Amino acid sequence: MSNSLVLPIVIPAIISIILIFLGKQALTKRMVVFAGALITLVCASFNLWNVMQHGIQFLELGSWPVPYSITLTVDYLSAAFVFTSSLMMIFIIVYSYQSVSFERERYYYYSSLMFMLAGLNGAFSTGDIFNLFVFFEVFLMSSYVLMIIGGTKIQLQESIKYILVNVISSSFFVLAVAMLYSVVGSLNMADISVKLAQLGDHSIITICAILFIFVFATKAGMFPLYFWLPGAYYAPPIAILTIFGALLTKVGVYAIMRTYSLFFPTETVGNILLVLALLTIISGCIGALAYRDMKKIIIYNIMIAIGVIITGVSLLTVDGMLGAIYYVFHDIIIKAALFMLVGVIIRITGQTTFDKTGGLIKQYPLLGWTFFIAALSLAGIPPLSGFYGKYYIVKALFQEQHIIAAVIVLLSSLVVLYSVIRIFINVFWGKPGALIQHPPYMKMMVVSFLVTMLAVAFGFYADQLFPLFHQAAVTLTDTSEYTKILEVK
C-alpha cells in the first residue's frame, strides 16, 4: 500500500516528456537523461528494499477495491527486475554518449530510451493482464523508434519485418486476453489465477495457455518464432542492440514466468514449454556455431540463454525457478557486457567479422582480458556469475528425471564457450590484421569494464542474493501469497 511503486514508471515518463522539449541541446539532454535514470534507480532500489523487508507490495490505482481497479503488484521477482532494468539503462545511457552519433541523438534518442524504461518497468510491475498488454505496446513502440532512428537502408528493411511481426503478435495478445476474459470474466491477474484454479482442467484453458505462449514466445524469440530476431537485432547501432538484447527479450521471459505460474500451472503446458525451450537451445547453438560475425554470434547466444531460462521455468519446482531467476539476471548483465565489448572491438577494428582482425591483445590488454572474463562468465565457469543459474536448473532437471534435457543444457554451455572463445582467439591472438585506427573509445571501454565487473560481483555475491531469489522462486511456485491481495479488502 505505498505510492512509491508507481515512481519507477512515472519518473522515466516525465523525463521523457521533458526531453522532447529540450530539442537540440545535446549536452543538457545528456545530463537530464542521466539524472532521470539515476532517480529512477534510487526509487527502484527503495522499492526493492521495501519488498525485501515487508513482503509483496500492492497498489490499487485510484483506490478502487481490487478486482475492479488496475493494480500494481510488485513481488520479489518484479522488484528485482525493475531494479535491474533501471540499473542497466544507466550503463546504456553512458555508453550511448560516445557510441551513438550526434545525428541520432538529436532525433529524440534519449526520449525514446526513457519511454522504453517506463514501459519495461510498467510491464514488470503490473498486476493486470490488459495493462500488461498496454505496457508491452509502450516499450514496443519506443523500440520501433529506436530501431529505425538513423534510417539507413538495412535498418529500414529490417525494422519493417520487426514491426510487422510484433503487430501480429500484439493482435494475438488481444485475442488471448479476449478468450481469457470470456472464460473467467476478470482482468486482474490474481483474480484470474484464483478463478482458473476453481475451474479445474478445462481444454479451453489449455488453448488460452498456448495462445499466451505463442505471443510471449514471439516477443522472447523462442524456437519456432525466433526467425525475426537475428536480422532485426543486427540492424541498429550497438548501443540500441545492447538494450534489445539485454532487456527486451527478457520481458517475454518474465511474462511467460508470470502467466505460466499464475494461470496455467498444468503438466501439459509445462511439457510444451520444455520441448520448445530445448529446441530453442539447439537452434541457438547451431546459429552460434555457424557464423563468423561477432554480432551474430552474440545474438544467437541470446536465444540459447532464453532456452535455458525457459527450461528452468517449465519444471515449476522451486529449484528450477531459482535457477531460472539466477540465470535471467546473470544473462541481462552479461549480454549487455558482451554487446558493449563487441561494440568497442568493432569501433577499434572497423570489422564485424573476426576473419580480418587479430593481435589486438598487445595494444589493448584491458579490452582483451575483460572480454575473456565476460566469455568465461557467459559460459558459467564456477566462481563467475553464469554458474549458479545453470547449476540449479540442471539439478532440478535431474530431480525431475529429465536426463536428456539436462545433457542438452550442459552441452549448450560448451557451445557457448566455444563460440565466444573463438571470437577471443581470432581477435586478440595471432598476428595483427587489417589496419587499426585509434578512434576515441575510452568512455565505451570504461562502461563495458564496469558492467563486466558487475557480472563478476554478481557471481561472487550470489550467496547474499540467495534469500531474495529463493523467496521469488517460492512465490512463483506457490501463488497463494501473490493472490493474497484479494483477501486484503
Per CB under 8 A, does 235 bind another protein? yes
Is residue 70 within 8 Å of 6, Cβ to Cβ?
A: no
Size of the site for another protein (CB under 8 A): 38
**Least distance from another protein to the Cβ atom of residue 143, Å:** 12
**Least distance from another protein to the Cβ atom of residue 224, Å:** 16
Nearer to another protein, 208 or 396 (CB): 208
Taking the alpha carbons of 260, 269, 412, 345 in that order, is the dihedral positive or negative? Answer: negative
* DSSP line for 349-368: H--SBSTT---TTTT-HHHH
Task: Select the residue interacting with another protein from 12, 36, 150, 230 (CB under 8 A).
Answer: 230
Nearer to another protein, 212 or 291 (CB): 291
Distance of CA 470 to the CA centre of its chain: 20
Kindly report the length of the chain: 489
Provide the 3-class DSSP secondary structure of residue 439: coil
Q: Which of residues 347-406 bind another protein (CB under 8 A)?
A: 353
* DSSP line for 400-415: TT-HHHHHHHHHHHHH
Task: Select the residue interacting with another protein from 52, 231, 350, 421 (CB under 8 A).
Answer: 231
- One-letter amino acid at 272 equals I
Nearer to another protein, 168 or 425 (CB): 168
Is residue 12 within 8 Å of 118, Cβ to Cβ?
A: yes
Site string for another protein, 136-175 (x = CB under 8 A): -x---x--x---x--x-xx-xxxxxx-xx--xx-xxx-xx
Torsional class of 63: left (φ above 0), alpha (ψ -120 to 50), beta (otherwise) = left
**Least distance from another protein to the Cβ atom of residue 70, Å:** 11
Give me the helices (H) in 101-244, please. 102-106, 109-125, 129-148, 153-184, 189-199, 203-220, 229-234, 238-243
375 is written with which cell numbers?
566469455
Nearer to another protein, 232 or 313 (CB): 232
Nearer to another protein, 141 or 275 (CB): 141
* Choices 130-138, 250-258, 278-286, 303-311 (CB under 8 A): range interacting with another protein: 130-138
Q: Which of residues 181-200 bind another protein (CB under 8 A)?
A: 181-182, 187
**Least distance from another protein to the Cβ atom of residue 263, Å:** 17
Per CB under 8 A, does 263 bind another protein? no
Burial of 469: CB neighbours in 10 Å, binned 0-12, 13-18, 19+: buried
Per CB under 8 A, does 433 bind another protein? no
Nearer to another protein, 31 or 174 (CB): 174
Q: How far apart are the first and last CA of the chain?
A: 12
Taking the alpha carbons of 93, 95, 96, 102 in that order, is the dihedral positive or negative? Answer: positive
Is residue 475 within 8 Å of 468, Cβ to Cβ?
A: no
Nearer to another protein, 81 or 263 (CB): 263
Nearer to another protein, 300 or 388 (CB): 300
Nearer to another protein, 230 or 323 (CB): 230
Is residue 372 within 8 Å of 450, Cβ to Cβ?
A: no
Q: Which of residues 270-309 bind another protein (CB under 8 A)?
A: 291-293
Q: Which of residues 309-348 bind another protein (CB under 8 A)?
A: none
Which residues here bind another protein, judged by CB under 8 A? 130, 134, 137, 141, 144, 148, 151, 153-154, 156-161, 163-164, 167-168, 170-172, 174-175, 177-179, 181-182, 187, 230-231, 234-235, 291-293, 353
